[in-house]
Chain A
Amino acid sequence: MTILVCNTPFDPWQELARHQQALEQCGRYGATACFVGTLRDFNEGETVAAMTLEHYPGMTEKYLSAICAEAAQRWPIIDALIVHRAGEVTPNDTLVLTAVWAAHRAEAFAACRYLIEELKTRAPFWKHETLKAGARWVEHNTPG
């Protein structure tokens, strides 16, 4: 299980490839499921020019690790990866990557969904949007 909070842009597909190449369980996993979250240039009727992702260092890593461990207890998965961006981002930047490797797709999809949904409700991140005119804190996530 790997979790990473990074303050600079990352390419989710490179992260996926790098992680999968390093997996030692070749031949055991038949399914890789992933979710990639990307910053839109619109939200709740406003044009979004940029966004700042604030987080609580220490607590963030603790909860991302706990969420991975919970997924591994609930489903027979082989490995999981979470990469989450922090700091200044602009539209089309990747915000988050969650990925799961498992023997079969059912547990891979279910566990990957669990990672992103739990992360959104429990990991201490906050979004501050820069709009065309002004700025605002995002008060709630959009429904899954």
Chain B
Amino acid sequence: MISVKYFASLRERMGRAEDRIDAMHARSVAEVWAEVARGAPWPANMLAAVNHAYANAQQQVYDGDEVAFFPPVTGG
């Protein structure tokens, strides 16, 4: 399984904080997004992380990974 987390405005937009998907259904970050968003396009400015490190859409994902999607960060 792949754990998928959403933060901030994207969490509100998704209507949930996380999902779990079968690793058979997604081999990359882009495919994880396509799976959880049911084909909706990648939102402008959306960022992604795999196992707590920033990742691009093409990065491969594996069973047991944690993938996160979120808007630009605004800390400090």
Contact = CB atoms under 8 A, between A and B. Distances in A.
Contact of A126 (B5, B49, B53, B73): B73
Interface string B41-76: 000000001001110000000000000101111111
B74 A125 contact: yes
Contact of B75 (A58, A120, A128, A139): A120
Nearest to B52: A59
Given A56-B5, A56-B68, A128-B8, A139 B74 contact: yes
B9 A124 contact: no
Contacts, number: 68
A121 B75 CA distance: 8
B75 A119 contact: yes
Given A54-B7, A54-B8, A56-B7, A140 B72 contact: yes
A126 B70 contact: yes
B25 to A, nearest CB: 24
Nearest to B12: A137
A141 interface: yes
A11 to B, nearest CB: 18
A123 B53 contact: no
A123 B73 contact: yes
B74 A96 contact: no
Contact of A62 (B5, B53, B73): B53
A59 B49 contact: yes
B71 A137 contact: yes
Interface of B: 5, 7-9, 49, 52-54, 68, 70-76
Interface of A: 37, 53-56, 58-59, 62, 84, 95-96, 116, 119-128, 137-141
